[in-house]
Structure 1
Amino acid sequence: MIQSLLIANRGEIACRIIRTARAMGVRTVAVYSDADAQALHVRMADQAIHIGPSQAAESYLKGDVIIAAAKESGAEAIHPGYGFLSENAGFAQSVADAGLIWVGPQPDSIRAMGLKDAAKALMAEAGVPVTPGYYGSNQDPDFLAREADSIGYPVLIKAVAGGGGKGMRKVDDPADFADALTSCRREATASFGNDVVLIEKWIESPRHIEVQIFGDTHGQVVHLFERDCSLQRRHQKVIEEAPAPGMDELTREAICMAAVRAGQAVNYVGAGTVEFIADGSEGLKADRVWFMEMNTRLQVEHPVTEEITGVDLVEWQLRVASGEPLPLAQQELSISGHAMEARLYAEDPASGFLPSTGRLEVCRFPQNAVRVETGVEEGAQISPFYDPMIAKLVTHGPTRKEAIATMQEGLDGLAVWPVRTNAGFLHAALGHTVFADGAMTTGFLEAHQDELVHTGEPDKAMLNDAARAISRYWNSGSLEKLAGFRLNRPVRRMVTFDVEGVEYEADANLPPTPGSHVISLRERGVLVTRHGRTMAALLKRGESAGGAAASNGAILAPMPGNIVSVLVAQGDRVSEGQKLLTLEAMKMEHTLVAPFDGIVAELEARQGAQVQVETMLARIELEEQ
């Protein structure tokens, strides 16, 4: 068995690996960048080594530096986690060449599945059904446009080296194909260093079903059943569950054995996920499921598989990497109950899901039966350098309905501030009738976004709970006033406070709202949480934050990031909604547009420049000015 392990990753997955390694008696070594010097994974590990600046390209993506850190620490093995270098065959080979153990599949397996076009050809040979599309080497834009025409719109442009929703664009109209291709290639180059794409037919009622497989060095490959990852936004998974709703035994057998054949075709060793797209228009059927890609690593959503099988997948990884056979045979694996995972992101749904950064002054995770996988704690800093996920919340129950109910109860007790999160969005999605019925597709969140995102006035019940709490905590005459006084009736106590720069007045005498939780911010006010939403009621009016476009036509950076394209010049005439420039932050592109018809009076944005939040990038003036 491996005795010492370096984890070439950060955040929640590093913490997750450390917990299992510690339980197995394995010494752990963490690596960290400047931004992560005080991170939780650094403090949890037995040893920690600094590997470079905050930018991932200068730290977590520097394979030679990580191998040097392993040598310096005396680690026997390297676990890559997911993301970063986890699917880099060259890095895996370098680890082996350095005499270290790579906790993952063989480099040849990674190469075989690393490029989506080659992987699909290999799967077709192995008898695994693949999605209709173009997977060839001709990358001429006009040729690709003709291929898209022949496939039939809508189509999906996908980077062959892509993953995590990066380098993917759905195109509904031929007129949009060229722009989508350019944007997709640019994002693919930035994320993966490879701008080659493939074109696939877009399935109109798609369900994203994936199968967890595991192989060992003794020739065994098993599956640990399927997961449903259909709840996605911009191709990024948001809520995952296992088993898949509506999956019958015949279809399960077909899809899971196809995944095993995929693993056998590349002599797979370790944890891997075979991803399929299913046409859910008539329910899940064995002949309407197609191979999409294989992820040659542990997946973010692996805890739901652990919950329904009782297996610790990280422990299996370490045992297999040590040369041991798989702990269980296929016939010994079974499904127990239902599990759900919700990804808690540092983002603001009410502002178009823009990433939110800053210090977690308040970070209270659920106290009920929710498994919390996180790499942060109260007081930690959410930086713009890495993925914006704060935590994964995982529940398990005898039935799907009970797993959902436990998750919603957990979200009720969650409080994060002042960093914004998608907790309210998650709560609303879990409570939607389409999701409750298990009838969702990958387009569910986009189609119902207006219903799921709270953008109006604060909840009246939350305002009253805030007033009641403020009155109870401070009991100061300056905070309340008499109103509506009448003989023989109770006095109403009205309390005034500030929410998001707006002054509100609420009744402090009303009873507390079921499901609401209140947290004191000491002399500043209180936090009220309900249905996943967090509202700060402050005693002193705060300054309102700037937006992407001010009323005077100023275009402000909504977050720290990198300018990847500038589409206008100073003096250009622009129309309302016209694209002005593209900002990349937290691995995603965000397009800023003109707020009204006018002229580009000022243009400060420069391609390649790094900008901070609320930096003035451009200013649009009405033409008559």
Structure 2
Amino acid sequence: MKPLIICRGPIRKEAMDVFDEMGITHYGILLSEKDSITYTNALAPELRTLTDPDRVHRVPDYSGATKEERQKRIQQIIRIAYDNGYNSIFAGYGFMSEDAEMVESMEKAGLNFIGPCSFTQKSAGMKDQAKRTALETGVSVTPGVNNATSLALFAKYGKDGLVKCAKDHKLDVDFAACKDEEEQALALLAASYEANIDIVNAAEIGAALQVEAKRMLTEKPNNRFRLKAIAGGGGKGQRILQSANSYEGATIEEKVEKAAANVPSLVLECLIELKTNGVGDNKNVLIEMNIDTTRHQEIQVVGNGEWCMTMGGRDCSLQMHEQKLLEVSVTEEELAAAIEVAAAAGKTAEAEQLKKDLVILQHMEREGAIFGEAVKLDSLGTFECIVDGEAHYFMEMNTRIQVEHRVTELCYKLKFTNPDDSGDYFIAESLVEVMVLLARHGKKLPKPTRILREKTSVEARMNATNQALQPHAGGVIENWSNAISGEIRDDQGISTHNPDTDVFMKYHLAGAYDSNIALLLTTGETRLSSYQRLAEILRRTELRGKDLSTNLEFHYGLIHWFIGNGINARPSTNFIVPYLTAVGLLKEQANQIDLDVAFNEIRQKYVAAAGDNAKAWAEALDAKKLLLIRPLERLFAEPHYMSGWLSMNKDNLHIADGEIKWQINPIEMLDKLYHYLNMDFEKGKPARYMIWDHDHDILTAAVSFYKSLNEKVDAADFPALQALLASDKAPKGFSSDEWLAVRSAHVGYYAGTEVLAVLMYIATETGFCELSVNPDLSITIPERLTNKDLQKQMAKVLVPPPAAKSDEVLAASGGMYYPREAPGMDVFVSEGDHFNTGDTLYIVEVMKMFNKVIAPFSGTIAKVLVEGDGVIIKKGQPLFKIIPDEMIVIETPEEVAEMRRVKTIEFLATLK
């Protein structure tokens, strides 16, 4: 095997490593000029290990921007393979990996494609054909319509006009071989794609789908529906059609009309995002019921064209904007063990839900194998399902290895045994290796058995996003700590040090393709242990740079939310946005608290009550101020950290009738907080990132004091210890003088810790703990967290927009600016236009995702400051000069400070 690797990111580096381990040394890699080549400090990091220039080949863009460019690129790749002696192609998990036209071209050129063959790509890779196959094989599918192009064709030519259409466009179609009108339409459409002509266009397809949407909206007025371009994946080329009842109207018919009116433009958006709106492109778009409470699960499928088997599942429900964030394994072994644990603990509802999950997993695995056999899967594929209650529906098959494939391979390995000699076998632990073996040996490979490696695994996708999980391109990584024990880090080679100097080499996150930086994985005996290991990995990961923003803090908080609330919780795909809204509310409340004011007020109370000892008390509390305030400031600055901390400690602190009730010692809580924030004292560590030495001395002395005391007294918990310390009667083992000294030391160590209660005050004020896990593992999401306006408002709290003058609109993020929906269409706004709140001003493409930017207020465009399509813009760059309908009133710093002081006094008033 001499493969040419034509993908990028972590999978390219993984493929290089696996090929090296397999003894495949004559491989090459394809680089795109957008794949960091043209950016300073952003050369593809894989080149740090692959130093042979003859094995590096360059193209302008991997797949091209139009159908013509894609076809040219395919031929260019074939030519590169021929000219350099490559006999196989590895396309990883990018869009090229499931491009049936490309795979078929590779096969015709005599190249061995390491992945599913073109037959499988056509049968399963295109969403409409996959759904037809699923229905034919008895696989459960989501209710909807998958033949929009056929419907548009019938609407335009009539069912009896297909033959005339073929003659008019000089298309050779064997209608006699088709069993029904639907097959005739499909054959005619396939011929038009081959001839590179449009017999139906995007507008006609949109109109056909609009008719279907009206019927579906009328039948289910409370349901939302999803539109999906058939070639999409990873959330691209998909849009949500809101429910009929979300619109105003006197009758249901009026509401349906308003909802369905959006269908044509949504269809166009789907096609534009995938760049499949050109002449001759297959423009079919599916519409299906969107199950809002769904969980997203997928089954790993492996086959050689004859046999097909599964390797367990993955839960990918934790996602946002169709982009997966946290993925966790779902295995029979882990579920069976979790059922036993829940039953033993008397958690009947949890055990019952886990039993249902086990049955659903078994059904999905069975259907995945059936579907894989039906489409003659001869490599790796992913059988994707949505789970709604006790029902599951097939969604699509990804005819490629998935980004999260390591979640599966860390749980299972495959044993290939000689059918004629059970002692003759080999074991494959890498799914990339399995792909190579299947491409090389195909039907000669016997069906393997899966062997358990670990019961659970979990993967966090570390992306270049801000605290609101919006793409943030352009940052430079200047330092990245080394991976710790138990951490698997797929980072494209970014953290590879200079082999001569062992110095970290800067890396520019150009973001031309997507926001992913790395995949962080680990394993465990239970889901809890795997989450705890991932939490430790995230705690100790230090990532610093210039204009750098990642979702590292988000993952750290989210992992602790689940550890604190219920590790077996079953979140749906709509969980993350309400969760982010809850975190935003924490931030909003924290912004109103002045920690200096709070501590100084507490200090003043102690000093006022100290009488002759006022000076000593003042000095003692001054010495403790930063010990107590610094970690709180860190939580205030990183609301995701606050979310995780509150989730873990929600039962440890209560405020009732003005009294702070600690369930654990506040000194112990403070010590754990420093550890949680990775601020432990370490010699040689910069003081900025750890507890200061004098604070460390105070805290260490306090921890030692209470540890020693707990060993000498009979107190089951901290409330019992507090009750003991409240009495002046010395317990057994202490003299009266000794006990007086102990009580005095306790008062000194305890003083000032009241400020820590601000965390529970913030949680109470925001209702944070109302977002909770139920006994049956479902999650209660307070209704206010689903309010769209509040969600948008809290996103701005988490990431305040750039400071702007009242007469301009600034770019909310960097990216590529488009003033219109698509080439040839009118611009959204031009000079002199009036716009209203919610109108689209422009589109920004960030990391391959198209985002419409809407007006936050109404006004008139005085001047457009950016001209042209596809112009690179930077965050904070002025885009429009505007005349607002209403002048914005800006609060002065003094007014803000006074509001914070008043809110802080309100908090202190809750304490005695």
TM-score strictly above 0.5: yes
Letter in 2 for 1:513: Y
1:131 & 1:372 partners in 2: Cα distance?
Answer: 35
Residue 209 of structure 1 deviates from its aligned partner by 1.3
Relative to structure 1, is the Cα distance of residues 553 and 406 closer, same or farther in structure 2, using a 3 angstrom cutoff?
A: farther
Among 560, 575, 582, which residue is 1:451 paired with? Answer: 582
Among 361, 370, 374, which residue is 2:491 paired with? Answer: 374
For the Cα contact (< 8 Å) 2:299–2:313, is it kept in 1? yes
1:177 & 1:398 partners in 2: Cα distance?
Answer: 49
Residue 293 (structure 1) aligns with? 396
For the Cα contact (< 8 Å) 2:36–2:510, is it kept in 1? no
Relative to structure 1, is the Cα distance of residues 187 and 402 closer, same or farther in structure 2, using a 3 angstrom cutoff?
A: same
Are 1:16 and 2:9 counterparts? no
For the Cα contact (< 8 Å) 1:576–1:594, is it kept in 2? yes
- How do 1:255-334 and structure 2 match up within 5 A? 255-280=364-389, 285=390, 288-310=391-413, 311-324=429-442, 329=447, 331-334=449-452
SS of the aligned residue for 1:157 comes to strand
Residue 12 of structure 1 deviates from its aligned partner by 0.7
SS of the aligned residue for 1:393 comes to strand
**Deviation per CA, 1:193-230, whole angstroms, max 9, x where unpaired?**
1543111112132011111111115x121111111111
**Deviation per CA, 1:274-333, whole angstroms, max 9, x where unpaired?**
1111103xxxx3xx1111100001000100100110331011101110015586746544
Residue 143 (structure 1) aligns with? 211
Residue 30 (structure 1) aligns with? 29
RMSD (Å), alpha carbons: 3.6
For the Cα contact (< 8 Å) 2:412–2:450, is it kept in 1? no
Among 556, 565, 570, which residue is 2:831 paired with? Answer: 570
For the Cα contact (< 8 Å) 2:3–2:88, is it kept in 1? yes
Relative to structure 1, is the Cα distance of residues 568 and 332 closer, same or farther in structure 2, using a 3 angstrom cutoff?
A: closer
Worse overlay, 118-127 or 242-251? 242-251
SS of the aligned residue for 1:90 comes to helix
Are 1:102 and 2:139 counterparts? no
Relative to structure 1, is the Cα distance of residues 601 and 148 closer, same or farther in structure 2, using a 3 angstrom cutoff?
A: farther
Return the structure number with greater helix share.
2
Residue 96 of structure 1 deviates from its aligned partner by 1.8
For the Cα contact (< 8 Å) 1:226–1:242, is it kept in 2? yes
Are 1:53 and 2:43 counterparts? no
Residue 286 (structure 2) aligns with? 198
1:151 & 1:549 partners in 2: Cα distance?
Answer: 47
- How do 1:479-490 and structure 2 match up within 5 A? none
Residue 467 (structure 1) aligns with? none
Residue 517 of structure 1 deviates from its aligned partner by 3.6
Residue 312 (structure 2) aligns with? 225
Residue 392 of structure 1 deviates from its aligned partner by 0.5
Among 397, 420, 423, which residue is 2:549 paired with? Answer: 420
Residue 161 (structure 2) aligns with? none
Residue 158 (structure 2) aligns with? none
For the Cα contact (< 8 Å) 2:294–2:388, is it kept in 1? yes
Return the structure number with greater strand share.
1
For the Cα contact (< 8 Å) 1:157–1:171, is it kept in 2? yes
Residue 386 of structure 1 deviates from its aligned partner by 1.1
For the Cα contact (< 8 Å) 1:162–1:192, is it kept in 2? no
Residue 334 of structure 1 deviates from its aligned partner by 4.4
Relative to structure 1, is the Cα distance of residues 488 and 336 closer, same or farther in structure 2, using a 3 angstrom cutoff?
A: closer
Residue 343 of structure 1 deviates from its aligned partner by 0.4
Relative to structure 1, is the Cα distance of residues 147 and 617 closer, same or farther in structure 2, using a 3 angstrom cutoff?
A: farther
Residue 42 (structure 1) aligns with? 47
For the Cα contact (< 8 Å) 2:273–2:850, is it kept in 1? no
Relative to structure 1, is the Cα distance of residues 163 and 60 closer, same or farther in structure 2, using a 3 angstrom cutoff?
A: same
For the Cα contact (< 8 Å) 1:343–1:391, is it kept in 2? yes
SS of the aligned residue for 2:95 comes to coil
Relative to structure 1, is the Cα distance of residues 41 and 202 closer, same or farther in structure 2, using a 3 angstrom cutoff?
A: same
Residue 346 (structure 1) aligns with? 464
Relative to structure 1, is the Cα distance of residues 64 and 242 closer, same or farther in structure 2, using a 3 angstrom cutoff?
A: same
Are 1:515 and 2:655 counterparts? no
SS of the aligned residue for 1:361 comes to strand
- How do 1:592-603 and structure 2 match up within 5 A? 592-603=853-864
Residue 162 (structure 1) aligns with? 232
**Deviation per CA, 1:49-93, whole angstroms, max 9, x where unpaired?**
232336863799922222222223322211000113100111112
Among 500, 509, 512, which residue is 1:385 paired with? Answer: 512
Letter in 1 for 2:440: S
Letter in 1 for 2:412: T
Relative to structure 1, is the Cα distance of residues 341 and 618 closer, same or farther in structure 2, using a 3 angstrom cutoff?
A: same
For the Cα contact (< 8 Å) 1:211–1:227, is it kept in 2? yes
Residue 561 (structure 1) aligns with? 816
Relative to structure 1, is the Cα distance of residues 151 and 268 closer, same or farther in structure 2, using a 3 angstrom cutoff?
A: farther
Letter in 2 for 1:447: P
Residue 441 (structure 1) aligns with? 572
SS of the aligned residue for 2:383 comes to strand
Residue 790 (structure 2) aligns with? none
SS of the aligned residue for 2:98 comes to coil
Residue 297 (structure 2) aligns with? 209
SS of the aligned residue for 2:577 comes to helix
Residue 486 of structure 1 deviates from its aligned partner by 6.1
Letter in 2 for 1:196: N
Residue 612 of structure 1 deviates from its aligned partner by 1.8
Relative to structure 1, is the Cα distance of residues 382 and 278 closer, same or farther in structure 2, using a 3 angstrom cutoff?
A: same
Letter in 1 for 2:308: V
The two structures have a TM-score, normalised by structure 1, of: 0.82
For the Cα contact (< 8 Å) 1:49–1:69, is it kept in 2? no
Residue 188 of structure 1 deviates from its aligned partner by 2.8
Among 241, 244, 248, which residue is 1:171 paired with? Answer: 241
Residue 366 of structure 1 deviates from its aligned partner by 4.1
SS of the aligned residue for 1:276 comes to strand
Structure 2 unaligned residues grouped into runs of 5+ = 38-42, 152-204, 245-257, 277-281, 336-353, 414-428, 496-504, 597-614, 638-669, 692-798, 822-826, 888-912
Residue 884 (structure 2) aligns with? 622
1:392 & 1:325 partners in 2: Cα distance?
Answer: 33
For the Cα contact (< 8 Å) 2:817–2:844, is it kept in 1? yes
Residue 388 of structure 1 deviates from its aligned partner by 0.9
Structure 1 unaligned residues grouped into runs of 5+ = 465-482, 504-509, 530-544
For the Cα contact (< 8 Å) 1:304–1:339, is it kept in 2? yes
Q: Highest CA radius of gyration, 1 or 2?
A: 2
Are 1:118 and 2:249 counterparts? no
Residue 577 of structure 1 deviates from its aligned partner by 3.8
Among 847, 853, 862, which residue is 1:586 paired with? Answer: 847
**Deviation per CA, 1:505-549, whole angstroms, max 9, x where unpaired?**
xxxxx98911334699x9x995679xxxxxxxxxxxxxxx99467
2:620 & 2:378 partners in 1: Cα distance?
Answer: 78
2:489 & 2:226 partners in 1: Cα distance?
Answer: 34
**Deviation per CA, 1:419-478, whole angstroms, max 9, x where unpaired?**
101111112222224662322111111222223467459999xx99xxxxxxxxxxxxxx
For the Cα contact (< 8 Å) 2:475–2:549, is it kept in 1? no
Relative to structure 1, is the Cα distance of residues 587 and 14 closer, same or farther in structure 2, using a 3 angstrom cutoff?
A: same
SS of the aligned residue for 1:86 comes to helix
Residue 432 (structure 1) aligns with? 561
1:181 & 1:422 partners in 2: Cα distance?
Answer: 35
**Deviation per CA, 1:80-129, whole angstroms, max 9, x where unpaired?**
00113100111112212222211011101101122212210111001111
Q: What percent of counterpart residues are identical?
A: 26
**Deviation per CA, 1:468-513, whole angstroms, max 9, x where unpaired?**
xxxxxxxxxxxxxxx999668876797999x99x99xxxxxx9891
1:156 & 1:81 partners in 2: Cα distance?
Answer: 27
Relative to structure 1, is the Cα distance of residues 518 and 6 closer, same or farther in structure 2, using a 3 angstrom cutoff?
A: farther
Are 1:90 and 2:208 counterparts? no
Letter in 2 for 1:237: K
